A and B are shown apart, each in its own frame.
Chain A
Amino acid sequence: MNRREAIKRTALLFGVAASPATITRALAEMSEGGSARYLTSSQYKIVVAVAERLLPASDTPGATDAGVADYVDVAYGLFMSDDNQNSLRKGLAHLDRHEFDAMDAAKQDATIKSIAEDNAAPGKNWLRQFRSLAFNGYFTSEAAAKSGFNWDPVPGGFSPKLPLAEANGVSFFE
């Protein structure tokens, strides 16, 4: 059962108005089954670890809940030029050599911070590339759409000056 089927079944099980928390939990359970199709398993585990520190689970789903690594895997395999694949692989290999996935959260955060603040371009460029992938994977996910954003797939009308408070200060998923 893939994640989308899992979500649909979960929604059926609890009714369409399943609470975000319910869906989040279901996603978290399903995400344990995530695995690499295009990346190696050691590359994939670094993707999972970095993405979760960038976008950790909180009152909204985290990167793992949202299946970000599976998206990065497919993007890497089918949607990326050779150059971009090389650059992604290099950064993942570097973090793998430092056993990033085995670090505690504080150490992981410090490692990411040091890449962000290092003036050497390769690390920064890699982080920008990875953030772009992880953010896209996360903020366009079903989990983010339904448990983070306002979810209104068929608005049916237009309110040109909606008070932001009426949207609870949150964007509509596009």
Chain B
Amino acid sequence: MNVSTKGTAQHTYDAIVVGSGISGGWAAKELTEKGLNTLVLERGRDVKHGDYPTAMMEKWEFPGRNSISQESLDRQAKQSRTGYTTREATAHWFVDDVDNPYSEDKAFDWCRGYHVGGRSLMWGRQSYRLSDLDFEANAKDGFGTDWPVRYKDLKPWYDHVEGFAGISGNNDGLPQLPDGNFLPPFAMNVLEEHVRDRIAKKFSDRQLIHARVANLSQAHNGRGACQYRARCSRGCPYGAYFSSNSSTLPAAYATNRLTLRPFSIVTEVIYDANTSKAKGVRILDAETGEAMEYYAKVVFLCASAIASTSILMNSKSDRFPNGMGNDSGELGHNLMDHHFKVGASGRYDGFNDIYYKGRRPTSIYIPRFRNLGDSATKQKDYVRGFGYQGGASRTSWTRGVAELARFGADLKADMFAPGDWRMGIGSWGEHLPYHENRMYLDHNKVDKWGMPTVTFDCEFKENERYMRKDMQASAIEMLETAGLEDISGFDDPTSAPGLCIHEMGTARMGTSAKNSVLNGHNQVHGASNVFVTDGSFMASSACVNPSLTYMAFTARAADHAVNELNRHNI
């Protein structure tokens, strides 16, 4: 490979951050604010805050009224599997599957965006802390390896990232879902409050609470309050939800210590045998194909779980013949997602004269109530647990489509009015860390840049399947308790790992180089100036949405990196 090393000085920074999504944005903010000249390398195009082409478009301005075109199905066949990601309003945030192929020994949906901001632009924004129930789970039931940290280590960092990001929610005093540093919650509508009260009355162990979300219920840190348009994943011109583009990257730019280089595909981390550390990274310019090197004292891999692990796998040296940090053989293994697409919904007969105004960008949440460590909540069929997201609303004109024999002016007038109240709750369950669930590189199948492609070999197993039965049955039970009618449960058994877009693991942290890739500060075993702080570090998946945890670990790792640099330890 002909690598350009011209101008070494101009290619040298204090820190390199690979990726600009949720974790990379946080690394950039923290490292620059702590005084480090930082280079962020992003493989895709630049997106500045406000550069959101569909943000203000109305449905009729999309030729297909915001649906998925046949052209998109051809180019984004895998990205389309969710059924919503590649609609006209958001298709441009997801990759082209033809140019960015991957393979599946078993079905795996890898949905991602290659642009500045990454999936922080399209994420679901639900933001929950892990608790010691989660950090102790592997040690207690023996699945996976023990987390090298506990909640007390993370608590100040959750406080820190919530304070900057702006998380709206309520402090509910639940040990399994720790309280936080919240803006006021988004209000519930009339049926949600009714269901909340009925559940509280019937179940001593269950609560229906306000979702905790990275949407601003009030103006915060110079960003605008939510305008209740609920068009979040297109990008918010008001900056009313947390994204790298609206939040962390502007903060990093404000230090004048950030350099961001788009179209920079990091191919490997360069290991220096003399220092037993990384000296920088090698990249390909995505537009010209030119290979280049950049150097720094510290490297943060924040490229997303699968991408960061791929970079480590591709970083081979005499010291690391099987990929950087892979003394344990765990690199690429213990791949997890959450399992979902199971729950129930029903109709409520009443509150017909009550409606709502404004499109709330959030939902309600029912925290985990199974296997909380006591005998009362212990399940015999499965370990760990699940939570629910959901909401109530009045039905729309779509209810009229199936009434085949009704048409004309009266039907049309009816369809302009809100229909019955309905409420649905869907469950998100923990996916255990199984060593054999993995991704690996296929060097015989390369992409258009000549890089090896990823193959997935991952599945849900018995524990998840038993859990799903309870996820559906408990949903039906709670809606029945709340007095809903025509309740129907749902469970999509074809839903494969990845579809939840919470893929994590593959470079887990652990208590030693024998059982893990990273230590408790996200440092690569054997290359202590390389930090990996995206979802790849996760040693278990918990059952809550993970991004807030990536933020907290990233900020903590950045603090540790700067302290260690100052102590000359790395």
B355 A128 Cβ-Cβ under 8 A: no
The reply to whether the CB of B359 lies closer than 8 angstroms to some CB of chain A is: yes
Number of A-B contacts (CB under 8 A): 147
Q: Which residues of A contact B187 (CB under 8 A)?
A: 158, 160
Of the candidates B68, B356, B398, B407, the one having the most CB atoms from chain A within 10 angstroms of its own CB is B407
Which residue of chain A has the shortest Cβ distance to B394 in the bound complex? Answer: A171
Known: A137-B65, A158-B228, A159-B356. A124 touches B404 (CB 8 A): yes
Q: Which residues 127-174 of A have a CB within 8 angstroms of B? A: 127-128, 131-132, 135-142, 144-145, 148-149, 152-165, 167, 169-172, 174
Question: How big is the A interface, by class?
Answer: 35 or more
Q: Which residues of B contact A60 (CB under 8 A)?
A: 412-413, 416
Which residues of chain B from 43 to 67 have a CB within 8 Å of any chain A CB? Answer: 58-61, 63-67
Q: Is B380 an interface residue (CB 8 A)?
A: no
Chain B interface size, as a band, is 35 or more
- CB of B164 within 8 A of chain A? no
**A113: Cβ under 8 A from any B Cβ:** yes
Known contacts being A60-B416, A80-B70, is A158 close to B397, with CB within 8 Å?
Answer: no
Interface centre among B189, B353, B357, by most A CB within 10 Å? B357
Is A167 touching B357 in the complex (CB atoms < 8 A)? Answer: yes
Which residues on A sit within 8 Å (CB–CB) of B65? Answer: 71, 75, 136-137, 140
| Contact of B401 with A155 in the complex, beta carbons under 8 Å | no
Query: Could you say which of A53, A124, A155, A161 contacts B354, with CB atoms under 8 Å apart?
Result: A161
Give the distance in Å from the alpha carbon of A58 to the alpha carbon of B415 in the complex.
14
Q: Is there an interface contact between B58 and A78, defined as CB atoms closer than 8 Å?
A: no
- Bound CA span A109–B410, Å: 14
Q: Name which of A54, A148, A157, A161 has the most chain B CB atoms within 10 A of its CB.
A: A161
Give the contacting residue for A116; candidates B71, B356, B404, B409; CB below 8 A.
B404
**Known contacts A156-B228, A158-B360: A164-B58 contact under CB 8 Å:** no
Q: Is the CB of B58 within 8 A of A142?
A: yes
Question: B residues 103-146 with Cβ under 8 Å of A?
Answer: none
A156 and B416 form a contact (CB under 8 A): no
A168 to B515, CA, bound (A): 64
B68 touches A79 (CB 8 A): yes
A155 touches B409 (CB 8 A): no
B168-191 interface code vs A (CB 8 A; 1 in, 0 out): 000000000000000000111110
With a cutoff of 8 Å between Cβ atoms, the chain A residues found around residue B61 in the complex are: 4
Closest to A112 in B: B407
User: Mostly helix, strand, loop or mixed at chain B's interface?
Assistant: loop
B9 within 8 A of A: no
Q: Determine which of A55, A142, A170 lies in contact with B407 in the assembled complex, contact meaning CB atoms within 8 Å.
A: A55
Beta-carbon contact of B408 and A54 below 8 Å: yes
Residue of A whose beta carbon sits closest to that of B352: A164
Kindly report which residue of chain B lies nearest to residue A85, judged by CB atoms: B70
For the complex, give the distance between the alpha carbons of A171 and B189 in Å: 15
Q: Cβ of B417 and Cβ of A170 under 8 Å apart?
A: yes
> Which of the listed residues A54, A154, A160, A170 has the most CB atoms from chain B within 10 Å of its own CB?
A160
CB nearest neighbor in A for B357: A159
Contact B359 A163 (CB under 8 A): no
Instruction: Evaluate contact between B409 and A56: CB separation under 8 angstroms.
Output: yes
**Which residues in B have their C-beta under 8 angstroms from that of A79?**
63-64, 67-70
Report the minimum CB–CB distance from A146 to chain B (whole Å).
10
Per-position 1/0 for B220-240, Cβ under 8 A of A: 000000011110000000000
Q: Could you tell me if A58 and B70 are in contact, using CB atoms closer than 8 angstroms? A: no
Contact residues in A for B353 (Cβ distance below 8 Å) = 163-165
- Minimum C-beta distance from A130 to chain B (A): 10
A53 B60 Cβ-Cβ under 8 A: no
Q: Which residues of A contact B352 (CB under 8 A)?
A: 164
Q: How many whole Å from B353's CB to the nearest CB in chain A?
A: 5
Q: Is B418 an interface residue (CB 8 A)?
A: yes
Cβ A135 vs Cβ B69 within 8 A:
no
Q: Is the CB of A171 within 8 A of B417?
A: yes
Give chain B's interface residues, CB within 8 Å of chain A: 58-61, 63-71, 186-190, 227-230, 352-360, 394, 396-398, 400-402, 404-405, 407-409, 411-413, 415-418
Q: List 18 A-B contacts (CB under 8 A).
A: A54-B411, A79-B69, A113-B405, A127-B404, A128-B401, A131-B407, A142-B58, A144-B416, A155-B227, A155-B359, A157-B358, A160-B189, A160-B360, A164-B352, A167-B355, A169-B417, A171-B417, A172-B357
Q: A78-B69, A152-B357, A160-B187 are in contact. List 15 more A-B contacts (CB 8 A).
A: A53-B408, A58-B409, A78-B63, A79-B64, A117-B405, A127-B404, A131-B407, A142-B58, A155-B358, A155-B359, A161-B356, A163-B354, A164-B352, A164-B353, A170-B417
A residues near B (Cβ < 8 Å) are 4, 53-56, 58, 60, 71, 74-75, 78-81, 109, 112-113, 115-117, 124, 127-128, 131-132, 135-142, 144-145, 148-149, 152-165, 167, 169-172, 174
Nearest 10 pairs between A and B by C-beta? A158-B358, A155-B358, A116-B404, A58-B409, A159-B357, A160-B187, A116-B405, A155-B228, A79-B64, A140-B59
